[in-house]
């Protein structure tokens, strides 16, 4: 399995803040890195695929960057509905894997 490490594990932020979450892979995964948002009691939702492509319908305040082993999810101007847990996922390997999650709290 390709291990993904997210940092931080949790963070506190305020509405309007710019938030950055990082995801590091143990080996190069090119751009096969996706980001999901999950709110309590809900199904994960795809935000970013291929490291930097915005999924249809996702607000443009979400953006992704990186390639190889280091990736970033940025939320510009955090909104109340953005408080959630965020997961990175690699699909480079035949066996996919997720990061441990980053909880964004008020």
Partner 1 sequence: QVRLVQSGAEVQKPGASVKVSCKASGDTFSDYYIHWVRQAPGQGLEWMGRINANSGGTNYGLKFHGRVTLTLDTSISTAYMDLSGLKSDDTAVYYCARAKVYQSYGQFDYWGQGTLVTVSS
Nearer to partner 1, 75 or 88 (CB): 88
Confirm or reject binding of residue 37 to partner 1 (CB under 8 A): no
Confirm or reject binding of residue 46 to partner 1 (CB under 8 A): yes
Q: What is the C-alpha end-to-end distance of the chain, expressed in Å?
A: 33
Q: How far is the CB of 81 from partner 1 (least distance, A)?
A: 19
Number of residues that bind partner 1 (CB under 8 A): 25
Contact between 70 and 50 under an 8 Å Cβ cutoff? The reply is no
Confirm or reject binding of residue 64 to partner 1 (CB under 8 A): no
Beta-carbon contacts of residue 55 (< 8 Å; ≥ 6 apart): 46, 47, 48, 49
Confirm or reject binding of residue 57 to partner 1 (CB under 8 A): no
Strands 53-54 and 45-49: antiparallel
14, 16, 43, 106: which one contacts partner 1 (CB under 8 A)? 43
Calculate the alpha carbon distances from 52 to 10, 12, 73 in Å: 22, 24, 9
- Which residues in this chain contact partner 1 in the complex, by CB under 8 A? 1, 31-34, 36, 38, 43-44, 46, 49-50, 53, 55, 87, 89, 91, 94-101
């Amino acid at each position: 399995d390709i291990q993904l490490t997210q940092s931080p594990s949790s963070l506190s932020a305020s509405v309007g803040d710019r938030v950055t979450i990082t995801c590091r892979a143990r080996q190069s995964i090119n751009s096969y890195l996706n980001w999901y948002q999950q709110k309590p009691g809900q199904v994960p939702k795809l935000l970013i695929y291929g490291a930097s492509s915005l999924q249809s319908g996702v607000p443009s305040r979400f953006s992704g960057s990186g390639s190889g082993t280091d990736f970033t999810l940025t939320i510009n101007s955090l909104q109340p509905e953005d408080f959630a847990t965020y997961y990175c996922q690699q699909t480079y390997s035949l066996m996919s894997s997720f990061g441990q999650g980053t909880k964004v709290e008020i």
